[in-house]
Structure 1
Amino acid sequence: MPVASTAVLHDPDTYTRGVPFELIEELRARGPVHWVDEPELPGLPAGSGYHLVIDHALVTEIVRDPATYSSALGGTQIRDPATPQDLNYVRRMLLNMDPPEHTRLRKMIAASFTPRAVRGLEDRIAGHAKDIVDRMLSGPDECDFAKDVAADLPLLTLADILGVPAEDRGLMFDWSNRVIGFLDPDYASSASFNAAQGTSIAREAVALRPAPDASGRMPDPRGREGMPDLYRYAHLLGDAKRADPGDDVMSILLAQREEDGGQLSVEEFENMFWLFAVAGNETLRNGLPGAMIALLSNPDAMHALRADPSLIPTAVDELLRWWTPVMTFRRTATRDVTLGGTSVRAGDKVVVSYLAANRDPAVFDWPGALLIDRKPNNHRVFGHGPHVCIGAHFARVQMADLFREVLGRTHDIQLAGEPALLRSNFQRGVKRLPIRWAA
């Protein structure tokens, strides 16, 4: 396959027009692993290139084997950290760790989601979903589903998990935009949060919010220097929770004692906060409007769910598979290995395509179709293996609750304009989704 073809998959501009599924299937017919060059692109420096894996079985093999395919060696984003110092910093985040460090922190997080905390969060999610749809239906019969409906539910849920005051949740909207949308001019310098309406902690943090330089560029949001407002907020929030714990998951996490008597360090908490506030927000924030696009593209499926809401929990996994919000993740080979007939050398970048794996015809009958009763549904939306998404349960609950409310309280939903998609080769994002409905 010519380099020009695979380069389309690397170019973030491609995804503003939609995913090139035909190209992915052409590649699949030629093999499970393909080399992709990394030319310099607007906002992206040139890179060494990478092996793109599009086969479901190989994707699963890779993410289950951190000894061979490391998350820590080069981080989990396709583009390399700019400096060794930046690499050392991203390695302090759970997302970019390998066992045993990853295992230790993961165990602490899992223990913080106590049965009582989980039940409380589920109840609050249902209430948030109802309130959001109340607000949607109280105004004109048109809205931007992506911003006015879908964006708020994960923010409210994360505020509950993190113990962030409700009036500060808009900070997470801006932080997520800046990190996930760093290649998109609409998002890269997001600063919609009004500090005057937030807490004193928020005001102190926002005072550190970076501004674009003379060329209009923002600092790299993956490093501490690029997100000083987020890290300041996390530090102050951690101090407040240690002094006055609440019943939120983060308070429980901060209070935990390990077998050796150790606790979560300040730096570990700050990086954990980054992970929850950004990564925990974006997958569902884009999965919800992606699911609406799926239903608008398949009106029979929307009608079936409206007629029988008991189908919604099963449909949630299919809606997520059909859209697949997180398209790729990177690993780095720790040794020379043969992967799907391709020679991979130690130090090579290996990028798994969850998007392509979730359309693999060897696993999914009619992979391009939306089958809301699809069982089994062995998708990789939430990853797999040691790094499987710890928030997967809550993502499913949020999507089920929101669509139960939206579909149960409307008679008809139609597009009211063209969706606007995110410029990103990582997140399949929806910036705007205008809809109209009949209540």
Structure 2
Amino acid sequence: MDHAHAPDGPAVPDVFDPRTYAEGIPHARYRILRDHHPVAWQAEPEVMGWPAGPGFWAVTRHADVVRVLRDHAAYSSRLGATQIRDPDPADLPFLRRTMLNQDPPEHGRLRRMLARAFTPARVDAFEGRVRERARSLLAAARDGAVDGSAEVVRAVTDEYALLNLADLMGVPAADRALLLEWTVRIIGYQDPEDAPPPRLGPDGVPLNPRSPALLGEMFGYARELAAAKRARPAEDLMSVLAHAELAEGELEMFFFLLTVAGNDTVRSAAPGGLLALARSPQARSQLASGRVPVDRAVDELLRVHPPVLSFRRTAARDTVLAGRRIRAGDKVVVFHAAANHDERVFADPGRTDLARAPNPHVSFGDGPHVCLGAHFARLQLRVLHEEWRTALPPPELTGEPRRLVSNFINGITRLPLRVSGRSG
């Protein structure tokens, strides 16, 4: 079947262009796709200096997203990695060293190894430090407010996510700014304001930020930190990994995954949740009154604002999904925010209802690659909202937020909120 052919119904809207997401999650487009084209072929034109690609299938219904994420035999993470944009074929062997870009059973070995380091007990032991950090950052934002307002991404949430992760990993305080620099370059590369200018290869084409050519500094640091942890181990993730039996390159790829995914999950979800509250008086009231447990509220805020917009798989064989014939080698991309607003699963999905239960959102994925750091992310988000409720007025916008230009990360780069005085 011709990829360009679409069944009868409204035209297939574009959900690829990263600039679309700077204006907000395109829920109206997602609904057209869910209702009429639940598995829809999307063109992949050249955009913002990045080369064109062959196109992909966009998957937007909750049931189909879950099916793709669970069926690793049909939809592979390894064949083409997990970004919409195709990596350089020369980089693929390197990218496949990280468990994000592997399939079972190889994926399971690395996941079990990291899970032994990333236990709920180890994570829970950090709650006191996380709570103290939330209190100090929120107090500083309040005390430094101008006309009662603060830009909370830079004043609170960036630092909060970064420093909590650095504590868990065991990164010395003097080196923590490096983690944010690497995260911004790797995650924000589509955004001309948020990221440094792309580095160009010999042919003048921008290098993929995940290519070996751009990760040498991070990997060198990981090796040095591991050596220090072998000499002086502590109660942190890098100490555990430094003493584990890892194959060549695996330590560095664990460090990469923890630094980028571990940081940016909360770095995106924290301001996204605050923005959702600022835009919903009912939700603000639910949280402020204490009528809803904060952990349940956190899951609804994650449904409304998933940290990741999309993840790519590659068809390992010819298959059929929602009546569409998928060819082996086709890119298949799931859209988390679309699945989280599927009316077939969530009643009145456009409403932020902090008491929503059950809440089977896919903001942390599903299947073998479900986010290993979900417990740590939820802990940080719960504590942040508990401490905000205690110390500050309910979130209220004092200016326009700015969203990341990205079809991958659901980022907020500026969020001016009221942090002192009365909230209207």
Q: TM-score, normalised by structure 1?
A: 0.89
Structure 2 residue 373 is matched with structure 1 residue 388: no
For residues 164-243 of structure 1, the aligned pairs below 5 Å read: 164-189=171-196, 219-243=207-231
Q: What's the counterpart of residue 196 of structure 1?
A: none
Q: What's the counterpart of residue 370 of structure 1?
A: 352
Q: Distance in 1 between matches of 2:326 and 2:75?
A: 11
CA RMSD of aligned residues (A): 2.3
Structure 2 residue 313 is matched with structure 1 residue 331: yes
Alpha carbons 1:224, 1:231 under 8 Å: kept: no
Structure 1 residue 169: deviation in Å?
1.6
Stretch deviating more after TM superposition (159-168 or 415-424): 159-168
Q: What's the counterpart of residue 16 of structure 2?
A: 10
Change (3 A) 1:147 1:216: farther
Alpha carbons 2:227, 2:242 under 8 Å: kept: no
What residue ranges of structure 1 are gaps of 5+ in the alignment? 191-209, 257-262
Structure 1 residue 167: deviation in Å?
2.7
AA aligned to 1:58 is D
Q: What's the counterpart of residue 37 of structure 1?
A: 43
AA aligned to 1:288 is A
Structure 2 residue 238 is matched with structure 1 residue 250: yes
Alpha carbons 2:141, 2:419 under 8 Å: kept: no
Question: Hey, which bits of structure 1, 4+ residues long, moved more than 4 A?
Answer: 1-7, 210-218
Alpha carbons 1:188, 1:218 under 8 Å: kept: no
Structure 1 residues 53-97: Cα deviation after superposition (integer angstroms, max 9, x where no partner) = 111111111111111110000000001012x22111111111101
SS in 1 for 2:15: helix
Q: What's the counterpart of residue 64 of structure 1?
A: 70
Alpha carbons 2:274, 2:395 under 8 Å: kept: no
Q: 2:137 aligns with which of 129, 132, 138?
A: 132
Q: Distance in 1 between matches of 2:233 and 2:379?
A: 26
Q: Distance in 2 between matches of 1:430 and 1:397?
A: 20
Q: Distance in 2 between matches of 1:239 and 1:20?
A: 46
For residues 154-173 of structure 1, the aligned pairs below 5 Å read: 154-173=161-180
Change (3 A) 1:309 1:126: farther
Structure 1 residue 350: deviation in Å?
0.6
Q: Distance in 1 between matches of 2:270 and 2:119?
A: 26
Change (3 A) 1:412 1:355: closer
AA aligned to 1:329 is F
Structure 1 residue 235: deviation in Å?
1.7
Identical-residue share of aligned pairs (%): 45
Q: What's the counterpart of residue 116 of structure 2?
A: 111
Q: What's the counterpart of residue 54 of structure 2?
A: 48
Structure 1 residue 47: deviation in Å?
0.8
AA aligned to 1:145 is V
Q: TM-score, normalised by structure 2?
A: 0.92
AA aligned to 2:189 is F
Structure 1 residue 241: deviation in Å?
1.4
Structure 1 residues 259-296: Cα deviation after superposition (integer angstroms, max 9, x where no partner) = xxxx0235101111111101111121111111111101
Alpha carbons 1:90, 1:96 under 8 Å: kept: yes
Alpha carbons 1:382, 1:392 under 8 Å: kept: yes
Q: What's the counterpart of residue 94 of structure 1?
A: 99
SS in 1 for 2:86: coil
SS in 1 for 2:293: helix
